[in-house]
Amino acid sequence: MADISIIIPSYNAEKYINKCLDSVINQTKKELEIIVVNDGSTDHTEKIIKEYKDNRIKYYKNSNQGIGKTRNFGILKSTGKYIMFLDSDDYLEKNACELLYEKAEKDKLDIVICDFYKKYDNGEIEEIHNANFENSSLQENPDIINEFLSPWAKIYKRELLIDNKIRFVENLKYEDAPFVIEALDKAKTIGKINECLNYYVIHTNSETTIRDRRCFDILKIIDKIRNYTKGKKYLQEKIDKLTVRMITNYTIQQRVQENKKIGMEFIEEAFQYLEKEVPDYKNNKYYENRGFLRRTIEKNKFLTKLYCKYYHVK
């Protein structure tokens, strides 16, 4: 059994998959299981993956099912003591697996989180350091939920995911957050390494920067999060803040929405959701660190629509 199973969903990743796989097979820690799932690619992704002869690589090819189903498939195929998720256009520092594994084993942790780099198309690299914390649990330290809610830049004890049947939401965009929140909540012990070990590559025309009608999925995802955490009093304030943050992020990003009508519809529905679920949202702590002009726009439906229309990016 490998120490860490690294799950890499791959879809039309011919431009990036080499750098991703090279960073994994050259890890200082060698006891790895590398699960690469080709999610119906139509480019040369499969050809590139098959050129690797490392016997730690387990390659699977599925029809195009979406990243939620693909990651769930990887979880079921994994055998490692810990699981790591890595997107096919991202890559790792050479000692990432070694440091994360040693921390998990030494401190007997269910989840270990690390800081990460954002790498942009122009070559610029930004270090992202989230708040440091001592080994804890979400019940003891609800602020942990403010960590970046993406499944990567973490390792999870496989037993935690399997025993609690923690899986990604399927057939919706933004499937990451419910998975990470449930994993953090079910984990008995969570730790953090205050080093950037994961490179998150941001492309100008990526899934996370293009908006279409799938933007409405974020409301369904937030609903799932709120339903899961209902009754968990230690999380209520954090979830309200997260709700406001996620919705505000996507209302403002309608300025890059390809279809202006969809953008206006989303802003309308998003504010209705806020008014229903977080009636006092205008006084939410999320806005405390926003500049006066920014928070004035973000709190107001009419001003948000005006901003997105005026500053629309085609």
Identify the band that residue 87 occupies on the pLDDT scale cut at 50, 70 and 90. Answer: very high
209 pLDDT more than 70: no
Identify the band that residue 245 occupies on the pLDDT scale cut at 50, 70 and 90. Answer: very high
Half-sphere exposure (CA, 13 Å, Cβ side) for 129? 6
Q: Are residues 96 and 144 in the same domain?
A: yes
Residue 246 lies in a domain: yes
Q: Are residues 107 and 196 in the same domain?
A: yes
Q: Are residues 228 and 127 in the same domain?
A: no
Q: Among 16-25, 167-176, 263-272, whose mean pLDDT is lowest? A: 167-176
Q: Are residues 19 and 72 in the same domain?
A: yes
According to DSSP, the β-strands at 111-120 and 154-157 are: antiparallel
* Positive/negative CA dihedral, 256, 260, 264, 269: negative
Q: Are residues 47 and 107 in the same domain?
A: yes
The enclosing domain of 133 has a CATH number of: 3.90.550.10
Q: Are residues 162 and 189 in the same domain?
A: yes
**277 sits in which H/E element:** helix 260-277
Residue 171 lies in a domain: yes
Q: Are residues 134 and 227 in the same domain?
A: no
211 pLDDT more than 90: no
Q: What is the pLDDT of residues 117-134, one digit of tens each?
A: 999 988 899 999 988 999
Domain that holds residue 184: 4-202
Structural domains in the chain (count) = 2
Contact 211, 256 (CB under 8 A): yes
Domain boundary among 181, 202, 223: 202
pLDDT value at residue 78:
98
Residue 223 lies in a domain: yes
Residue 207 lies in a domain: no
Report how far apart the first and last C-alpha atoms of the chain are (Å, whole number): 50
Q: Is the pTM of this model over 0.85?
A: yes
Q: Are residues 121 and 196 in the same domain?
A: yes
CB-count burial class (<10 Å; 0-12, 13-18, 19+) for 233: exposed
Q: Are residues 186 and 218 in the same domain?
A: no
Tokens of 153: 């830049």
pLDDT value at residue 1:
79
Give the three-class secondary structure for 71: helix
Q: What is the pLDDT of residues 131-166, one digit of tens each?
A: 899 999 999 999 998 777 899 999 999 999 999 999
